[in-house]
Amino acid sequence: MPDAILNIYVARFSIQICKFAARFFEFRPMANITKPSIPKGTRDFGALEMVRRNYIFDTVRQVFQRYGFLPIETPAMENLSTLLGKYGDEGDKLLFKILNSGDFISSAGAPLNANADKAALQICEKGLRYDLTVPFARYVVQHQAELTFPFKRYQIQPVWRADRPQKGRYREFYQCDVDVVGSNSLINEVELIQIVDEVYRKLNINVTLKLNNRKVLAGIAEAIGAAEHIVDITVAIDKLDKIGLDNVNAELQEKGLSADAIEKLQPILKMNGTRQEKFETLRNILTSETGQKGIDELQTLFAYIDALNLSLNVELDLTLARGLNYYTGAIFEVKANDVEIGSITGGGRYDNLTGIFGLDNMSGVGISFGADRIYDVMTQLNLFPDNAVARTQVLFVNFGGEDELYSMKAMSQIRAAGINAEIFPDATKMKKQMGYADKKNIPFVALCGETERLGNTLTIKNMATGEQQSLSLADAIALVKA
């Protein structure tokens, strides 16, 4: 480290430094240098991952916009008062909390509570967003005067959760949410299903969309005289495939359902046949108003889906119980047909998104695309297109002096033609420069030495075939652009 730099260290703050002038760090002696790492559950993304992730983001973004949804972004940090109590007690524990700046001990007011959860609230006012839905609800309420309802927004941002990291589960990950608020119309559900169809068609992933309705689940519970057991019933139905009918019935009994209720549930558990036959069975059993309304909604959705010739497979799935404690109508879940990975998209209708922030009667419906799982599916199925690579198309070998300047001028023209190009920064050994092109998978190398400079040509080498051609600039552009 140059001593002169150390000498001036003390004067640091006498120099006016604008906001991003401070982008480089101090050179300070460090006693211990340890190999650096990142917090567990977080990831660095290199160029290839970035390009592939952006391919997914760009695809969903384009489809969202095609359907009239507009982007918003909210801050990474929200007030804890906005976040707390929205995700259950367990969710509160999973929030990353930001320590108050300055003398957080004095500003805590009282000595810290011995209970860590309570003490945290004395010294933290802010937290990192846990999902995009609560910030969206906060946004709608805060900006309601500026918004046009029905308000259609999408949002693609990272969220943070202090979950125990494990394979496929991260503490920082992206969500891609698309929601409409301020409309009860089932067309919104239809359009979200169309969005799912179009996104996965563009990404080339074969998917099945499972559809259920919370009102139908409530209707089942009502019909068998066990309205208060809706969750137990749903959880049990959810296990039918895995544990079989007898075990499901045993579990229901254990949960306190009467023999009569269990008996009445059997026709639903054993229900099969076509979608139409299932609806008829349900119509006969679910006689409550809620149940009938749920069936109406499902049938309406299926009628739209049939009429619009969607290419994705949509299935009625009464066992689909995700989000049962907040969804009030449609429930969606999307799975990849060709990879075992769990749900890659999900969502539903919620009748009171913004009520918690004091704005009532705002029904909404939305879905969320899980970028990380979609990435995993596409990797496993090798679905990323060949052009989803971030790379330089042409490397100019650096021969120094006038040849270098000739190369740089030619390169400006090539870049102006929309081609990514770079020159090796040093006029070093040819082998090293070619090795650089090779490691970076650069498909073409331009060689401009004295001959080319005097003849006003470029020699272009195709790195895959080894073929070399002497070309005019225009022909070189045509060759490397192809």
First to last CA, the chain: 48
# residues near a second copy by CB under 8 A: 178
Residue from 370, 397, 460, 477 binding a second copy (CB under 8 A): 370
Strand order in the sheet with 172-181: 70-71, 151-160, 172-181, 364-370, 343-350, 330-336, 207-213, 313-316
Q: Helix (H, G, I), strand (E, B), or coil: what is residue 129?
A: coil
Nearest residue to 323 via CA among 426, 405, 412, 234: 234
- Interaction between residue 273 and a second copy (CB under 8 A): no
Q: Which two tokens stand for residue 340?
A: 């075992």
Whether 391 and 365 have beta carbons less than 8 Å apart is answered as no
The residue within the footprint of a second copy, chosen from 57, 279, 302, 304 (CB under 8 A), is 304
CA atoms of 420 and 414, how far apart (whole Å): 8
Among 110, 274, 358, 464, interactor with a second copy by CB under 8 A: 358
Least CB distance to a second copy at residue 14 (A):
6
Shorter beta-carbon distance to a second copy: residue 133 or 249? 133
Of 33-41, 311-319, 374-382, 463-471, which segment contacts a second copy by CB under 8 A?
33-41
From the list 227-235, 261-269, 377-385, 470-478, the region that binds a second copy by CB under 8 A is: 227-235
Place of tokens 């125990």: 164
Give the nearer residue to a second copy in terms of CB position, either 13 or 482: 13
CB of 134 to a second copy, least distance (A): 5
CB neighbourhood size of 426 (10 A) = 11
Q: What does the per-residue mask of binding to a second copy show for 61-80, with x meaning CB under 8 A?
A: ----xxxx-xxxxxxxxxx-
Task: Give whichever of 420 and 469 is closer to a second copy, judged by the CB atom.
Answer: 420
- Is 481 among the residues that bind a second copy (CB under 8 A)? no
In angstroms, the Cα distances linking 153 to 104, 132, 362 are 37, 11, 14
Q: What is the number of other CB atoms lying within 10 angstroms of the CB of residue 134?
A: 22
Least distance from a second copy to the Cβ atom of residue 316, Å? 19
- Work out which of 59, 212, 213, 234 binds a second copy, going by CB under 8 A: 234
86 near a second copy, judged by CB under 8 A: yes
Nearer to a second copy, 90 or 467 (CB): 90
Of 196, 211, 218, 248, which lies in the binding site for a second copy, with binding defined by CB under 8 A?
218
- Piece of the chain touching a second copy by CB under 8 A; list 43-51, 281-289, 378-386, 472-480: 43-51
Q: Which of 290, 289, 231, 294 is nearest to 257 (CA)?
A: 231
Give yes or no for a contact between 156 and 61, defined as CB atoms under 8 angstroms apart.
Answer: yes
Is 109 near a second copy (CB under 8 A)? no
**Residues in the chain, overall count:** 482
Note whether 390 binds a second copy by CB under 8 A. Answer: yes
Q: How far apart are CA 478 and CA 414, in angstroms?
A: 10
What residues between 141 and 200 interact with a second copy by CB under 8 A?
141-143, 146, 148, 150, 152-153, 158, 160, 162, 169, 171-173, 175, 177, 180, 183-185, 187-188, 190-191, 194, 198
Nearer to a second copy, 232 or 475 (CB): 232
- For a second copy, the closer of residues 1 and 482 by Cβ is 1
φ and ψ at residue 71, rounded to 5 degrees: -80, 145
Whether residue 120 contacts residue 97, with contact meaning beta carbons closer than 8 Å, is answered with yes
88 binds a second copy (CB under 8 A): yes
Binding a second copy (rule: CB under 8 A), the pick from 391, 454, 474, 478 is 391
Which of the residues 319 through 348 are near a second copy (CB under 8 A)?
A: 321-328, 342-343, 346-348
- Interaction between residue 210 and a second copy (CB under 8 A): no
**Which residue, 58 or 280, has its beta carbon nearer to a second copy?**
58
The only residue of 52, 56, 101, 361 in contact with a second copy, by rule CB under 8 A: 101
Q: Which is nearer to a second copy, 299 or 470 (CB)?
A: 299
Determine, following the binding rule CB under 8 A, whether residue 399 of this chain makes contact with a second copy: no
Q: Which residue, chain included where needed, has tokens 């499972």?
A: 210
Nearest approach, Cβ of residue 381 and a second copy (Å): 20
**CA–CA distances in Å: residue 421 to residues 329, 410, 413, 424, 442:** 53, 10, 10, 10, 9
Using the minimum distance from each CB to a second copy, give the nearer residue, 68 or 273. Answer: 68
SS3 313: strand
Token couple for 403: 């040849």
Task: Pick between residue 281 and residue 415 the one whose CB is nearest to a second copy.
Answer: 415
| Site for a second copy contains 33 (CB under 8 A) | yes
Buried b (16+ CB within 10 A) or exposed e, 403-421: bbebbeebbeebeeeebeb
Q: What is the 3-state secondary structure (H, E, C) of 140-195?
A: HHHCCCCCCCCEEEEEEEEEECCCCCECCECCEEEEEEEEEECCCCCHHHHHHHHH
Among 202, 235, 388, 479, binds a second copy (CB under 8 A): 235
